[in-house]
Structure 1
Amino acid sequence: MESNFHGSLLGMILDAGLMVKFVLLILLVFSIISWTIIFIKFRTYRRIRQENEAFDSDYQKSTKLSDLLPTSRKYPFSTTAEVFRAGYAEMTKANRLSRDSARPEEISLSSLDNVERALNRASSTEMTKLESALGFLATTGSASPFIGLFGTVW
C-alpha cells in the first residue's frame, strides 16, 4: 500500500481545518501540563523519599523523642517527619495534662486516642498533598484518546 502524502508534518497541520487545529492545540496543552506535573511529582517524590530515609535513620539512632524534634525540622519535605511532629505535639499535650492530674504517671486512654487521631490526621494531610494533581493526570489520560479520535473523524 502506497501513501500519496509527500508533505511534512507542519504542512499537514497548516492545511488542516480549524476544528482539527483546535483539537491539536487542546492535546498539546494537555500534554505540556501533564509532563510538567509528572516532572514536578518525580522531583518532589524523590526529595520526599530521600528526606524520609534520612529522618528514619535519625529516628533509629535517637534515644529520646525530645531530641528528635529539632532534628525533624531539618526535613521540611519529609512526610514521616511531619507525622512525627504531629504525634509528638499531641503526646506533649497529653503529658502536660497528665502532670496536672492527681496521678502524673498515667496517661489516659483518651489522650492516647488523641495521639492516634493526630497521627491519622497528619497522615491523611500528607497523603492529600502527595495526591494533588493526580486527578488531572487521570482525567487527561482517559479523555485524550477520545479527543484525539474526535479530531481524526472531524
Structure 2
Amino acid sequence: MSESSMAVQEHSFSMIALFMQADWVVKSVMLGLLLASVWCWAIIANRISTYARARRDMAAFDRAFASGRPLAELRSDYAGKDASGLSAVFLAAMEEWDKSHAQHAATAGGLQSRLEIALDLAVTEQSAELEKRLAFLATIGSAGPFVGLFGTVWGIMNAFTAIASAENTSLAVVAPGIAEALLATALGLLAAIPAVIAYNKLNADAGELIGRLEAFADRLVALLSRQLDAGKTL
C-alpha cells in the first residue's frame, strides 16, 4: 500500500469528522444550512396542520351557511370565538352591516361599497395568515444551494492552499479538504430540495384556500345586497 493511500485512511470521512475538520467558515455555512433545514421542516409541518384545520373549518362553516339558518343566528354562534377563515370574513361583513344600520347609513350603494372594502380587508388578513412563513421556504429553496456552493468554494480554496504549503499534490493532501467542501454543497441541497417541493405544494394549497375565501366574500356581498334592496333585516 502506498504512503498516500495510508495517509488518506488515517482521516475519518464520516460527516461528523468532516465537520470537525472543516475551516470555521465552512463550519458556519454547514451549521446555518442545518438550522435552516430544521426550520424548513418545522414550517412544513405547521403549514400542513394549519391548512388541514382551515379546510375542516371552512367545510363546517359552509354547511352551516348553506343550511338556510338566519344570518343573525349564525353570527351569534360564531361571535366571541377565535374566528378564522370563512367565519372571520362573515363576521367582518356582519360588523359593517351593524355599524351602517346603527348610524343610519345603510343606503344601497354606500353599504355595498363598504361591505366590499370590509370583506377585502378580511380576505387579505386571512390570506396573509395562510401564506405566513412560505417566503422563508422560497428563500431557502433558491439561496440554499448557493450558500452551500460558497462553503464548497471556500473549502476548495483551503485545499489548494494546503497543497501549496505542503508542496505535495497527493490524494492524502487533497482529499480531506475537498470532502469537507463538498459536504457543504450536500447540506445546501439537503435544505433546498425539500424547501422547493414544499413551497410549490403549500403555495398551491394556500391559493386554493384563498380562492375559497374570495368566492365566499362575493357570495356574501350578493346576499346582503339582496337583503338590503328588499328592505329586509338579518
Q: Of the candidates 19, 22, 29, which is equivalent to residue 25 of structure 2?
A: 19
Higher normalized helix content (fraction of residues): 2
- Structure 2: gaps (5+ residues): 1-7, 155-234
Listed as ranges, the matches of 1:94-113 within 5 Å are 94-98=100-104, 107-113=107-113
Q: Is the 8 A contact 2:84 2:126 kept in 1?
A: no
Q: Of the candidates 31, 34, 41, which is equivalent to residue 40 of structure 2?
A: 34
CA distance in 2, matches of 1:24, 1:47: 35
Is the counterpart of residue 143 in structure 1 residue 143 in structure 2? yes
What TM-score comes out, normalization by structure 2 length?
0.56
Deviation at 1:62, TM superposition (A): 3.1
Identity %: 34
Is the counterpart of residue 90 in structure 1 residue 96 in structure 2? yes
2:57 partner SS: helix
Is the counterpart of residue 70 in structure 1 residue 76 in structure 2? yes
Q: Is the 8 A contact 1:51 1:77 kept in 2?
A: no
Match of 1:50 in 2: 56
- The residue identity in structure 1 corresponding to 2:139 is T
CA distance in 2, matches of 1:67, 1:19: 63
Is the counterpart of residue 122 in structure 1 residue 122 in structure 2? yes
Q: Report the number of matched residues.
A: 145
Deviation at 1:110, TM superposition (A): 0.6
The structure whose RCO (Cα within 8 Å, separation 6+) is larger is 2
Deviation at 1:7, TM superposition (A): 3.1
Match of 1:153 in 2: 153
1:71 to 1:28, Cα distance in 2 relative to 1, 3 A: same
- The residue identity in structure 2 corresponding to 1:62 is G
- The residue identity in structure 1 corresponding to 2:141 is G
1:78 partner SS: coil
Q: Of the candidates 77, 80, 89, which is equivalent to residue 86 of structure 2?
A: 80
2:111 partner SS: helix
Q: Is the 8 A contact 1:52 1:80 kept in 2?
A: yes
What TM-score comes out, normalization by structure 1 length?
0.83
CA distance in 2, matches of 1:74, 1:110: 27
- The residue identity in structure 2 corresponding to 1:119 is L
1:73 to 1:81, Cα distance in 2 relative to 1, 3 A: same
Is the counterpart of residue 132 in structure 1 residue 132 in structure 2? yes
- Structure 1: gaps (5+ residues): none
Structure 1, residues 101-130: CA drift from partner, whole Å, max 9, x if none?
8xxxx7331111111111111001111111
